[in-house]
Amino acid sequence: MATFLLVHGAWHGSWCWDRLVPELAAAGHDSIVMDLPVEDPSASFEDYASVVVDAAAGAGAPDDVVVVGHSMASMVIPIVAARRPVSAMVFLCGVVPNFGGSPWDGAPRMDEEGVLAAVVSHEDGSSSWPTLAAATDAFYGDCRPEDAAWAFSQLRRQQSAPLWGRPYPLDSWPEGRRIAIVGRDDRAVRLEFSRHVSRTRLGVEPIELPGDHSPFLARPAELAKTLIAEV
């Protein structure tokens, strides 16, 4: 049985996996979740990776450990895999690293125009989502309204300057299979972007699920089945 290290994306927290973890457990798999220091104005991707590695201390045998990075956390999971053995890296609706450049270089536009521009900037450098409607438009378009409201109520402020203001710490892929799972109707990380970076950077064909940016909330059973089948 596998142990899944589930790493959340920007503005989110470990809570976002609450629907997926029971689905994996029902099939006999373990999960480890953690809260990244997204509100820390000094935390880098390397610091994020340290939180994941620490949370995974004592996890199963290396051949059984799968690290899953949602959205922005797709920048984190290769650093994790470079520090500890994993059998696979799963880039879920991922902002996939582009060694030597930014994730947006040389690829189709990542987000649907205006979707991510709805965030509000604060004096401390952080950003947040001002309304449920804006967050739903970006992340939860295929979720039940009550689920979108539940998620929105737990979103956190995100400090992004320490992440994008310095060179990426890796220049090649670490050991471990690379798997891309994407949403056909994703507005935050568009299908055209995901197909391009999956093929040109990861060297794989993406697995396309129906729906938007948050399959762990909208269709956790289908996401669990896909993860289990691939690893």
Q: Is 71 helix (H, G, I), strand (E, B) or coil?
A: helix
Position 166 scores a pLDDT of: 87
pLDDT in tens, 13-32: 999 999 999 999 999 999 99
Q: Taking the model in full, what pTM does it have?
A: 0.97
Mean pLDDT of 127-133: 98
Q: Examine the pLDDT at 62 and tell me if it is beyond 90.
A: no
Q: Examine the pLDDT at 83 and tell me if it is beyond 70.
A: yes
Q: Note down the domain range covering 170.
A: 3-230
Q: Which positions ≥6 away from 160 have C-beta within 8 Å?
A: 10, 127
Mean model confidence pLDDT for the chain? 96
Taking residue 99's Cβ as centre, other Cβ atoms within 10 Å add up to 12
- Helices and strands (DSSP H and E) totals, the chain: 9, 9
Report the alpha-carbon angle 6-201-62, nearest 5: 40
Q: Examine the pLDDT at 6 and tell me if it is beyond 90.
A: yes
Q: How many domains does the chain have?
A: 1
pLDDT in tens, 28-59: 999 999 999 999 999 999 999 999 999 999 77
Position 153 scores a pLDDT of: 98
Residue 223: pLDDT band with limits 50, 70, 90: very high
Q: Which residues pair with 209 in a beta bridge?
A: 183
Instruction: Output the domain CATH number for residue 219.
Output: 3.40.50.1820
Mean pLDDT of 139-157: 98
Q: Examine the pLDDT at 1 and tell me if it is beyond 90.
A: no
